[in-house]
Amino acid sequence: MVGKALKQSDKLIFGLIQKETKRQEDGLEMIPSENHSSRAVREALGSVFTDKYSEGYPRKRYYGGNEFVDEAETLAIERAKKLFGVEHVNVQPYSGSPANQSVYFALLNPGDTVMGQSLTAGGHLTHGWKVNFSGKIYNSVLYNVKPDGYLDIGEVRKLALEHRPKLIWVGATAYPREFPFEEFGKIADEAGAYLAADISHIAGLVAGGAHKSPVPFVHIVTTTTHKTLRGPRGAMVMVTRKGIEKDPELPSKIDKAVFPGLQGGPHDHQTAAIAVALGEALQPQFKKYARQIVENSKALAGSLMQNGIKLVSNGSENHLLLIDLTSFGKGKGLYGQCGLEKAGITVNKNTIPFDPSSPFYPSGIRLGTPALTTRGMREKEMKRIGKIIAETLKRCCAYEFPEEKERREAAIAQAKEKIENDRELVKLRGEVLKLCRKFPLHSK
């Protein structure tokens, strides 16, 4: 909770924080890249470490007065090493995209070839997408998924041997299946490429043993710290034993790429909060939490499909699901997102593989179970939530989405108005609120 000082000094911001707290408490946060951090993490993030400047690395700072910052950063590093079983960790990247950028900066020159999963197939912007630096500065080759929604490993191998990329990415933001790290490792070795696993979404699952670890098969691991790992918004770059065997200078190259290559002073309050989150993830109960995320995801998938909702790949093996709304017509993701928000469920519209519509009006919904699991919900609640989601989508996705662009704006406005005034959605919102009251948030 927010203290008295903020209320006294800035009532406007204090009020907005209170409103956001209530929004989260009274609704189901189901965007799979979001979670609820502990009070301990938030206290570290709001600590006096925010006042310090610490360019450099532990015991090699450019400024004085960093003896306790050094201890906090070293603690975060050692905890990450233990948690993930890696040889080297850099905890200073400001967020996920800068962490990935540091890998490019450490290994590649402009124009070098890189491979990654296509954004439209569930990949990430920084894995070579055309509008991102990774697709503009580097020669990007993108691989896809098969019509069944699973990664096309045959295509990955064919492209890797044909184009001989210097760097291959494995990892995604909207892929509901377990990543085949071992197969990617063999392909990268055959092509002579570095292999980087971006586990930003599944880091908590990997840490908790609920997803296979990439560490034995890849050279570099990058991750954010605020998704399934349940920490503050931040990131890490890790080097594996295999990475050091390929290039003994790889840890030094990564560190130099982060600082001074891309960043100045690290965010010490963020580092301290990352250390707290890693400490929490090292506790035995975190393994139960990680496994429950996956069990909840499978239960939710089953409920949705039983209630007539189509899923990409017909299920989930991790923390997220991707709903395919094309049976209602193309471009219905926006309607689904708006309707679910009215019912008190926060998701995000998302493209699906081979989407017949545009990324601005996608035909899918991305959702997940990390935040619900943090609240203590289990399979029983997932079954009910799946039914609520299905009922909502069937109502909202029945509205027209015109092919003609000149008719689209008016049709969307009309659909949103109907959704806003839908009494059945108000009733479903009441059910959601009861569920939220049963599993209160921010109690720890």
Residues classed as catalytic? 53, 55, 198, 224, 227, 233
Of 170, 197, 174, the C-alpha closest to 368 is 174
Q: Which residues contact 16 (CB under 8 A, 6 or more apart)?
A: none
Report if residue 115 sits inside a domain: yes
In this structure, is residue 37 part of a structural domain?
no
Tell me: is residue 402 an annotated ligand-binding position. Answer: no
Q: Does 258 share its domain with 190? A: yes
Q: 39-49, pLDDT tens digit by residue?
A: 999 999 999 99
Domain boundary among 249, 281, 313: 281
Q: What gap in Å lies between CA 170 and CA 184, rounded to an integer?
A: 7
Of 244, 266, 281, at which residue does a domain stop? 281
The C-alpha R_g of the chain, in whole angstroms, comes to: 22
Our measurement of the distance from residue 161's CA atom to the centroid of its chain's CA atoms, rounded to an integer in Å, reads 30
Q: Is 118 annotated as a binding residue?
A: no
Average pLDDT, the chain: 96
167-170 and 139-143 as β-strands: parallel, antiparallel, unpaired?
unpaired
pLDDT of residue 4: 87
Q: Work out the burial of residue 233: count CB atoms within 10 Å of its CB; fewer than 13 is exposed, 13-18 middle, 19 or more buried.
A: middle
Q: How many CB atoms lie within 10 A of CB 274?
A: 32
Residue 288: pLDDT over 70? yes
* pLDDT band for position 403 (cuts 50, 70, 90): confident
368 labelled ligand-binding: no
Residue 152 · residue 181 · CB < 8 Å = no
**Per-residue model confidence (pLDDT) at position 440:** 95
Mean pLDDT of 17-34: 97
Q: What is d(CA 274, CA 227) in angstroms, rounded to the nearest whole number?
A: 12
pLDDT over threshold 70, residue 444: no
**Among candidates 128, 420, 58, which has minimal Cα distance to 271?**
58
Rounded mean pLDDT of 117-122?
95
> Which of 238, 265, 281 delimits the end of a domain?
281
Whether 107 is in a domain gets the answer: yes
What pLDDT is attached to residue 147? 95
269 & 318 share domain: no
Rounded Cα–Cα distance for residues 186 and 157 (Å): 9
Which segment of 77-91, 152-166, 402-416 scores lowest on mean pLDDT? 402-416
Residues 157 and 241 in one domain: yes
Q: Is residue 10 part of a domain?
A: no
Confirm whether 369 is domain-assigned.
yes
Check the annotation: does 360 bind a ligand.
yes
Per-residue CA distances from 39 to 2, 23, 52, 373, 375 (Å) = 11, 17, 22, 16, 13
Residue range 41-64: average pLDDT?
Answer: 97
Q: Are 232 and 263 members of one domain?
A: yes
Q: Is 133 annotated as a binding residue?
A: no
Assign 369 a pLDDT band (cuts: 50, 70, 90). very high
In the chain, the percentage of residues whose pLDDT exceeds 90 is 97
Spell out the alpha helix ranges (H) of 132-259. 133-136, 153-163, 181-191, 203-207, 241-246, 250-256
- The reply to whether 261 and 310 lie within a common domain is no
Distance of CA 198 to the CA centre of its chain: 10
Q: Which domain holds residue 427?
A: 286-438
Q: What does the pLDDT look like over 261-276, one tens digit per residue?
A: 999 999 999 999 999 9
Query: Average pLDDT for residues 415-428, to the nearest whole number?
Result: 96
- CB 274, CB 234: distance < 8 Å: yes
Are 78 and 184 found together in one domain? yes
**Does some domain include residue 15?**
no
Give how far Cα 353 sits from Cα of 266, 333, 365, 436, Å: 37, 13, 12, 33
> Phi, psi (5° rounding) for residue 322?
-125, 110
Q: What CATH code is carried by the domain that includes residue 360?
A: 3.90.1150.10
Tell which wins on pLDDT, 3 or 96.
Answer: 96
Number of domains observed in the structure of the chain: 2
Confidence of residue 1 (pLDDT cuts 50, 70, 90): low
Q: Which CATH number goes with the domain that contains 223?
A: 3.40.640.10
439 is in an annotated binding site: no
Is 242 part of a structural domain of the chain? yes
* Cα gap 116→126, rounded to integer Å: 9
pLDDT of 124 higher than 80: yes
Asked if residue 290 and residue 315 are part of one domain, the reply reads: yes
Looking at the structure, do residues 314 and 390 belong to the same domain, yes or no? yes
What pLDDT is stored for residue 443 in this prediction? Answer: 53
Q: 312 and 246 in one domain?
A: no
Shared domain for 149 and 229, answered yes or no, is: yes
Predicted local distance difference test score (pLDDT) of residue 3? 77
Average pLDDT of span 319-341: 97
**Residue 226 sits in the same domain as residue 338:** no
Q: What is the Cα–Cα distance from 52 to 218, expressed in whole angstroms?
A: 35
Q: Are residues 236 and 322 in the same domain?
A: no
Give domain status of residue 61, yes or no.
Answer: yes
